[in-house]
Structure 1
Amino acid sequence: MSLVDTPAVKRLADWDGDRLERLATEYDTPLYVTDLDRIRENFARFESAFDFAHVMYAAKANTGQAVVRTLYDAGADIECAAAGELYRAIEAGVAPEDLQYTAVNPPDRDLDYAVDLWADTPELTVTAGASMTLDRLEERGFDGRLAIRVNPGIGTGHHEKVATGKDAKFGIPYEEVPELVESARERFEFVGLHAHVGSGVLSGDLDDHRRALQKVADLAARVGDLEFLDLGGGFGVPYRPDEPPLDIEAAAEMVREVTADVDATIALEPGRYLVADAGALLTRVNTIKETPETRVVGVDGGLTSLIRPAMFDSYHHIRNISGGDREPVTSSVGGPLCTSADVFCTDRPIPRSEAKDLLAIGNVGAYGINLASQFHSQPRPAEVAIDGEDERVTRRRETFEDLTRLENEAPGNR
């Protein structure tokens, strides 16, 4: 089977349960497991479908160095939404000329870092989403490759918090772009337009996605003389086990049709599509509590390990690795934090869990470990990357000492 013929989604049931149990035993829990082969497969499938486009990886989905390096080695350039992501990408071995920086209300230190990087690597492209960002770049002596982010006024995606195409925070208002482009052409090496209209787009969202992208493509034709039109990412994956995957060929044909009259390179920035189903979170059951309302299953992972259910009300499939053949019992799975938001699911049928059982949570490769925190003084989890038969720790587990390390190093606490 070639890479492009691999299944469109890796379901949680497809993970080798014996291997996951062994990894949890060897490396403890909570534990992120990242399948690098699956990332390569997803990239090959995406690149094959969008063979007419320049494909970059949207690093914010997962900035782990193993993930970034895997995609870069596979042929993806890297799009970064913050200076720290630029730094992490370079640490992962990405050449600065293969980076694109999309500034969103950038702090001064971010712009300082980006401009210093550009001074040594003039191939770096900076994307600005506010006219003041252009002024701030010019004040720093930047006159290099610049793109302008467009706000088309239409958002798509799985949740209102990711429908960026209609959020005033992101991009220049649509009708103001032509005038700002003329100004940018006088002050910088203006190279393109950029838009990202939402995230988690599946086949049923393609019509809305088309409307948003068509507006941006029409604007690109109106502005003219572009090196590229960057349509962002947003292509989603199914989180529920019975939800069909995105028809990537249909998505590619839609983009091809929308941009048929655009005389510029089409660029895309997939993130979630490449990495989401390549990650699983392993967590161990420590407490079982029967209540009149539900069966409470307490685990050692929590919203500090995976915040998406609390932050976006996101569904993540849960598999009982230890007892998958048991009868399902309506259960609520939650972690060790003192907040009602610390739950992975509520009243969901799950094979009856017992103490010491290993549970796996699926589709955590995107916006999983990147959003982990030390809230409630919880050390962040470790990560193991699997690469064929090979396995390696790519992020060590934090210790209690790590919780106070920065405070102990601060002069005011010595």
Structure 2
Amino acid sequence: MTDHADSPPIRRLADWDADLLTRLATEHGTPQYVMDLDRVKQNYARFSAAFPGAHVMYAAKAHTGSAVLEALLEVGADIECAAWGELQRSIEAGADPNTLQYTAVNPPDHDLDYAVDLAEDAPGLTITIGARDTLDRLAERGYDGRVAIRINPGIGTGHHEKVATGADAKFGIPYEQVPEVADRVREEFDLVGLHAHAGSGVLTDGLEDHCKAIERVGEMARRVGDDELEFVDVGGGYGVPYREEEPPLDLDVASEMVRDAVGELDATLKLEPGRYIVADAGLILTTVNTIKEAPDTTVVGVDASLATLVRPAMFGSYHPMYNVSAPERDPHEVTVGGPVCTSADVFAHDRPIARPERDDVLAIGNAGSYGYELASQFHSQPRPPEIALEDGEVRVARRRETLDDVTRVEQ
């Protein structure tokens, strides 16, 4: 494979080819998602190179599109899945089910049934449990295969309280209960690893808190006998800078701090980046349809909405924006919102953007992670297409939905 480890650590929105984006908007309409699969592969290679000797899996929940999964499988990535649909889609993309890890969080019966059935023919599948109940339910299904225990380290990190999973009781076995649970797993199943995930969107200045959680995972691994474990999985959570002035994550610093925090282990270190791999590889193209001068701001209406990208409404997330049609115009502070009937449908307030005019194409950056995955059909809006870029070629990875697609399941 091509060595992408030396690629730039972050791709800013202005680094995209404006002529190409203009052509894509003309040929495929807006709103649309664009995913640069070459960048996906570069990001995976760079991350893997920073953690030599570790087992780096891709956290599929960040973007489960088949084009992304196939690109990552092509460069040797394994995949971590959080739901049965991600397991199935990974297999359909070409993954060997023996290499998959299923991290069950309050798994519905259907999910567990699917995973247990899958393991009958793929004994290499690993099921990560975060509750004693899940062990009971696995035993009821006759499962006695590979199990990893998800630890709740009691420390959460990340860009928003809603992603600080390490301190959320929903996730993982309470820390002091882990040795007892490990004893049970050894008796009834094949205990292969420990797992924890502290949070999401961590940059260099947040690594200290992130590594406090990892330190507890390493301590617990040695406490339960890391020489008997195959791996210690410290999750993902490695972020990208959404704001233009933020520096990218320093992977060399991250690697050193993570290894120092987890300490000496006989088991293999495992990591699960998701956002880091796909965020800056994707963007949204949207067309300006309305310019309205209001007393306190200029409102710029676009055809993308919170149904296209919900992160600003859900997390208050900042996404960079760029006027693809006229980047040379003087910046003008504007409020950018979509056509959905709620005040939450706003991408930016008082944001300086090269002065937008009707029919301009705007790009919304860092949309490759948790973008299309969280897209909806609110207001009966068909979801947009996803255009894939790879090796100089352009293809439609997902076509634009129609209203027939929206209503197809109705009876």
Q: Which residue of 2 aligns with 1:256?
A: 259
2:167 touches 2:198 (CA, 8 Å); kept in 1?
yes
SS at match of 1:364: coil
1:49-77: CA deviations, max 9, x gaps?
A: 00120010000000000101111111110
Output aligned runs, 1:329-344, within 5 Å.
Answer: 329-344=332-347
Q: Is the 8 A contact 1:30 1:301 kept in 2?
A: yes
Select which of 356, 359, 362 maps to 1:356: 359
Q: Contact 2:3–2:45 (CA<8 Å) still a contact in 1?
A: no
SS across alignment from 1:385: strand
Q: For residues 43-62 of structure 1, what are the structure 2 equivalents within 5 Å?
A: 43-62=44-63
Quote the residue 1:346 is aligned against: 349
TM-score (norm 1): 0.97
Task: Please give the TM-score of this superposition, normalised by the length of structure 2.
Answer: 0.98
Aligned to 1:301: 304
8 Å contact 1:384–1:395 — kept in the other structure?
yes
1:390 aligns with 2:401: no
Quote the residue 2:104 is aligned against: 103
Alpha-carbon contact 2:212-2:261 (below 8 Å) kept:
no
User: Separation in 2 of the partners of 1:364 and 1:162?
Assistant: 17
Q: Is the 8 A contact 1:221 1:263 kept in 2?
A: no
User: Can you list the C-alpha shifts for 1:162-202, whole angstroms capped at 9, x where unaligned?
Assistant: 00000000000000000010011000011110000100010
* Counterpart residue type for residue 283 of structure 2: A
| Aligned equivalent of 2:206 | 205
SS at 2:216 equivalent: helix
Q: Render the CA deviation track for 1:199-239: whole Å, top value 9, x for unaligned.
A: 00100001101111001110101111211101100000000
| Contact 2:203–2:239 (CA under 8 A) maintained in structure 1 | yes
Structure 2 match to 1:221 = 222
Alignment partners' CA distance in 2, 1:137 and 1:327: 61
- CA distance in 2 between counterparts of 1:4 and 1:100 reads 25
Letter in 2 for 1:14: D
Tell me which amino acid in the other structure corresponds to 2:290: T
Deviations 1:57-115 (A, max 9, x none): 00000000010111111111000000011011111111111211000000000000000
Which residue in 1 is equivalent to 2:93? 92
- The answer (yes or no) to whether the contact 2:44–2:277 under 8 Å persists in 1 is yes
Question: What's the C-alpha RMSD, in Å, of the aligned pairs?
Answer: 0.9
**4+ residue runs over 2 A deviation:** none
Equivalents in 1 of 2:388, 2:398: separation in Å?
Answer: 9
Q: Which of 235, 238, 241 matches 1:235?
A: 238
Distance in 2 separating the partners of 1:72 and 1:250: 27
Question: 1:321-332 maps to which residues of 2 (within 5 A)?
Answer: 321-332=324-335
The aligned counterpart of 1:371 is 374
Identity %: 65
SS at 1:5 equivalent: coil
* 1:4 alignment partner, SS class: coil
Q: Which residue does the alignment assign to 2:277? A: 274
| Aligned match of 1:410 | none
Per-residue CA deviation, residues 262-299 of structure 1 (Å, 9 max, x unaligned), is 22011000000000000010000011111111110000
Q: Any idea what the Cα deviations from partners look like across 1:347-392, whole Å, max 9, x if unmatched?
A: 1111110000000000000000000000111110100000131010
Q: Distance in 1 between matches of 2:386 and 2:197?
A: 29
Correspondences of 1:164-179 after superposition (within 5 Å): 164-179=165-180
Measured in 1, the distance between the counterparts of 2:224 and 2:31 equals: 50
The answer to whether the 8 Å contact 1:149/1:172 transfers is yes
Secondary structure of 2:107's aligned partner: coil
C-alpha distance in 2, partners of 1:361/1:151? 35
For 1:268, the aligned partner's letter is: L
Inter-partner Cα distance in structure 2 for 1:272 and 1:18: 27
How many residue pairs get aligned? The number is 408
AA of the residue aligned to 1:350? I
* 1:401 pairs with 2:396: no
- Structure 1 counterpart SS, 2:191: strand
Alpha-carbon separation, structure 2, partners of 1:259 and 1:312: 30
Q: Which runs of 5+ in 1 are unaligned?
A: 408-412
CA drift at 1:132: 0.2
Contact kept, 8 Å, 1:62 with 1:275, in 2: the verdict is: yes
Alignment of 1:142-181 (within 5 A): 142-181=143-182
